[in-house]
Amino acid sequence: MATVVGAAVLVSSFGLYQWQRYQEELTQAERSLRSTASLLAEHTARTFEVAKAVLRVVVNLHDEAAEQGYDRHTVHGFLKTVHGGSPVFKAIGWVDATGNRTASSLFADPPPLNVADQEQFRVHRDGTAAADQVYVPAPVFSNLLNAKILSVSMRLNDRGRGFGGIAGGVVDPDYFTGVFRGVETRPSDVMTLFRRDGMILARQPTDDALLGTSLAGRRFMTEIVASAPTGAFHAWGLSDGAERIIGYATVPGSGFIVTVASTYRELFAEFWRSFAFASGHLGLALFALVAGAWSLIRQTRRRDQLAADLRRSEARFRDLAESSSDWFWETDDQNRFIWLSASVEQASGVSPEWHYGKSRIDFSDQPQSVPGAWDNHLRCIEERRPFQDFEYLRRGPNDDRWIRTSGVPVFDETGRYRGYRGSGRDVTELRRAEERLRDAVESIPGGFLMFNPDGRLAYVNANSAKYVPEMAAMDRIGDTFEEILRRTLAERLIHDAHDDPEAWLAWRLERHRAANGSTLVHYEKRVVEVVEHPTREGGVIVLRFDVTERERAQEATLAAREAADNANRAKSEFLASMSHELRTPLNAVIGFGQLLQMPRGNALSQSQQEYCRHIVSSGQHLLALVDDVLDLAGIEAGQLKLSTERMAVADTLSGAVESIGAVAAKAGIAVELSLETTVSDVRADSQRLRQVLLNLLSNAIKYNRPGGSVSVSAREIEGTRVRILVADTGRGIPEDRASEIFTPFQRLGAEFTTIEGTGIGLSVCKLLVEAMDGRIGFESEPGRGSTFWIDLPVETAAALPEAAASAGSGTTINAPLANAGGYSLLYVEDNPLNLRLVEYLVETLPDVTMHSAASGQVGLELARAHRPDVIVLDLNLPEMNGFEILEQLRMHPDTKDIPVLALTASVMPNEVNDGLAAGFFRYLGKPINFDQFLAAIDAALRTRPVKPPEGGYQAAS
């Protein structure tokens, strides 16, 4: 609306202004044309005065010529002179009273011309024109000049007789043009000379058609004639129809009128140009106005929208401010708080109002702050700079809190400082946590260094210098790890780096970059373990511990272990050779003793049989002792190799009870087995478990009372273990010695009795049970009996298929050999006693022929020659040992399939394993266990194809 009004006002005032300007221009033009006309009128008047003066001279000459009687030539001469002195006329002369031309300045003898019918002649003759006046008639066409000419005339008197003709002159058109041109005009101006009756006498530009025509009766003519000597009016051009303004003026003396007419176009050209220009500006102004209005409307709309946005955004920020654990604040130019968001109360326990009118420094505890921090802060504010994360202790009405704050200066539109605004946060807890962390870090008994993500040292604890003094002067805050290292190397502090510092540096930097483990660094005087750990934001924590003592201890331990290992190895070797050396003679003692006992043709006497039994049992006792000692020594030396498997407890117990049956019976002790049916299978090494059980059972029998009993049972405990109990009714174990029972060679007084024993059995049991993940223990009531128990883990894995479970067992003699037809056995042995013993044993097998060889070489030859069904090898042979013979046998096609048994005194567990791994069919120890030996021979022969009977197939076919 305002725009429309504005536009209307603008347009109308522009129009009014231009109208006024136009009026002024018009008035100005009229005035100027009027004055031009006046000027022209004066010029014209002068011309006519000149013409009048010349005509008077002509009239006088006419009178003089008549008086003096001048001839034609004289008159012509005079006239020519007058004419020559007057530029106004083209020609002068006179006509007589009848109208005939009688004198001319152009001709001495003028051609005949009568003007009696012409206007000027009539006017003068009839006395209409005043006698002494110049009369100007309408222009007439002149044949001579071939144009309309303007003439002037004056009456002649014929010496008292009245009218004597007229003197006249033809006005030179060029002269008149010159007069007209004498005034300053515009190119299209038209200047006209009228008589008062409206007759056009002259015109510039010349137009013959108009000259002589009368404008009498035209309204403007009447007005001109009626009005004052000068004026102006508007009319349409006679010749071109263009609209003009015409200025006019009366020519003094003659009463003629001159007009000067200018076209509007020319007069107002300048005006219209400026009008167009102004209009252009007006257009621009209007456009600007409309555009301004349009943009104003848009701005208004935008402003409304902005206001709405602002309200929303204010609400948003208010919500944020109120819900944040931070708060926002504003100060005035004196740095006094003038506003805080309400969240300050929740976050730091003090209301916003409490702050108002105070400045930060008013309620802070400066001495508590970090040195210099306050000065920095105040300088910052002084210089109107933003500040960030400034921390100070605020002394509140209730307690002191650590505040962290950031702010920016605020300036108004004129650039005047208005205060600060920013945010605050209560960091008391954070600082306390930091302090705790710092305390923790400071209490580390070693160096703690923190490198920032930019690789520079940010923190080092005080203990660092205490525990690794070499580095005290090296660790400088702000330095990179490499800078610190280089400094350390320059001081030659690191022993490790002496040989090639650059290589060590590269290696160390690489480890630091990886930051995922510990590195040992040897200084000259100490060993330091450096643990590096990456921080979340990409820095590295470096911990340094002096581990000199530990390293030394470790070195000592290593050395001790090495010594122990060496000793152990020596011990093992000693045991192995002892075992071998003891078993070989025992083999003979027990073997031959047993042979003697065998029912043969030449029976021994009673007492000889008695001696024989003593020999065998003492030999066996000795063998048991050797076995026990070796076992214990072997286990203690870590040579125990268990192969645990699923075992049914009932089967194991009944097997053990059965084995011990004969011994129990002999001692007169009843052994009773009671089993719960639901006992789970256990996981154990079958041989070793059997060994343990037999040991416990044998003790229970040995240390029982005459007629006593042993009861064996098993039950599950806690669902994860099976407890096997062996209870006896014996003498019990004295309480004060109970702790020694599992100690090797401790017999708790039994050594003074006749009960055979070594004091090793239980020690071995304990080691074995524990090696099987079990436990062993006992309860005893002296005089009433003891109960020994072992716990074994329940087998949790699924049961194996039966075929697999039973494989590899078999120490009992199976059914007699299926093939009764001639088998042959080759025994390679250098010890004649052993050879003899085996010979006797093989003799008990009806269909087996035995060959023997005392050396490997002979053995191989025999093997190839006879291709025996089974070969028994002593391992410890001169020249070629058993392993080498086995290898040779395996290489020869004739002998490669023959089962080969090892029979040896080398029975240390590793030796047994090596033997089986080499491919022996069985690995048998010495002294020979007859049952075992015969069972092995039997198993070997069963692998052989059935032999044809002597000469069988050939004869039949």
Residues within the interface to ligand ADP (CB under 6 A): 699-700, 703, 728, 730-733, 741, 747-748, 750, 757-763, 786
**Alpha-carbon radius of gyration of the chain:** 78
Per residue, the 3-state secondary structure of 486-520, as one string, reads HHHHHCCCEHHHCCCHHHHHHHHHHHHHHCCEEEE
Residue among 591 and 730 whose Cβ is closer to ligand ADP: 730
Residue among 587 and 698 whose Cβ is closer to ligand ADP: 698
One-letter amino acid of 582: L
Positive or negative: CA dihedral 19, 21, 24, 29: negative
Question: CA–CA separation, 459 vs 477, rounded Å?
Answer: 7
In the complex, what is the shortest distance from the CB of residue 927 to ligand ADP, in angstroms, rounded to a whole number?
20
In the complex, what is the shortest distance from the CB of residue 762 to ligand ADP, in angstroms, rounded to a whole number?
3
In the complex, what is the shortest distance from the CB of residue 743 to ligand ADP, in angstroms, rounded to a whole number?
9
Burial (CB < 10 A; 0-12, 13-18, 19+), residue 209, is: exposed
In the complex, what is the shortest distance from the CB of residue 704 to ligand ADP, in angstroms, rounded to a whole number?
7
Residue among 138 and 710 whose Cβ is closer to ligand ADP: 710
Q: Which residue reads 């229970």 in tokens?
A: 700
In the complex, what is the shortest distance from the CB of residue 934 to ligand ADP, in angstroms, rounded to a whole number?
30
In the complex, what is the shortest distance from the CB of residue 641 to ligand ADP, in angstroms, rounded to a whole number?
23
Residue among 7 and 667 whose Cβ is closer to ligand ADP: 667
Beta-sheet strand order (sheet of 775-781): 670-675, 709-717, 721-728, 785-793, 775-781
Give the residue from 665, 749, 679, 744 showing the smallest Cα distance to 714: 679
* Cβ 772 vs Cβ 794: under 8 Å: no
In the complex, what is the shortest distance from the CB of residue 623 to ligand ADP, in angstroms, rounded to a whole number?
14
Residue among 37 and 760 whose Cβ is closer to ligand ADP: 760
**H or E element that contains 447:** strand 447-451
**Does residue 619 sit in helix, strand or coil?**
helix
In the complex, what is the shortest distance from the CB of residue 779 to ligand ADP, in angstroms, rounded to a whole number?
11
**H or E element that contains 9:** helix 2-68
Residue among 165 and 744 whose Cβ is closer to ligand ADP: 744
In the complex, what is the shortest distance from the CB of residue 647 to ligand ADP, in angstroms, rounded to a whole number?
23
Residue among 345 and 779 whose Cβ is closer to ligand ADP: 779
Residue among 733 and 772 whose Cβ is closer to ligand ADP: 733
Tokens of 659: 């084995």
Residue among 76 and 747 whose Cβ is closer to ligand ADP: 747
Give the residue from 745, 749, 713, 740 showing the smallest Cα distance to 728: 713
Residue among 348 and 691 whose Cβ is closer to ligand ADP: 691
Per-residue buried b or exposed e for 559-580, using 16+ beta carbons within 10 Å of the residue's own CB: eeeeeeeeebeebbeebbeebb
In the complex, what is the shortest distance from the CB of residue 532 to ligand ADP, in angstroms, rounded to a whole number?
54
Question: CA–CA separation, 13 vs 649, rounded Å?
Answer: 127
Per-residue buried b or exposed e for 16-37, using 16+ beta carbons within 10 Å of the residue's own CB: eebeeeeeebbeebbebbbbbb
Question: CA–CA separation, 424 vs 346, rounded Å?
Answer: 12
Residue among 641 and 737 whose Cβ is closer to ligand ADP: 737
Per-residue buried b or exposed e for 111-120, using 16+ beta carbons within 10 Å of the residue's own CB: eeeebeebbb
**Does residue 456 sit in helix, strand or coil?**
strand
Tokens of 98: 């009848």
In the complex, what is the shortest distance from the CB of residue 589 to ligand ADP, in angstroms, rounded to a whole number?
21
Per residue, the 3-state secondary structure of 881-940, as one string, reads CHHHHHHHHHHCCCCCCCCEEEEECCCCHHHHHHHHHHCCCEEEECCCCHHHHHHHHHHH
The separation between the first and the last C-alpha atoms of the chain, rounded to the nearest angstrom, is 142
In the complex, what is the shortest distance from the CB of residue 529 to ligand ADP, in angstroms, rounded to a whole number?
46
Give the residue from 946, 942, 939, 930 showing the smallest Cα distance to 844: 930
Q: Which residue is nearest to ligand ADP (CB)?
A: 757
Tokens of 214: 């009368």
Tokens of 475: 């660790």
In the complex, what is the shortest distance from the CB of residue 755 to ligand ADP, in angstroms, rounded to a whole number?
7
In the complex, what is the shortest distance from the CB of residue 626 to ligand ADP, in angstroms, rounded to a whole number?
14
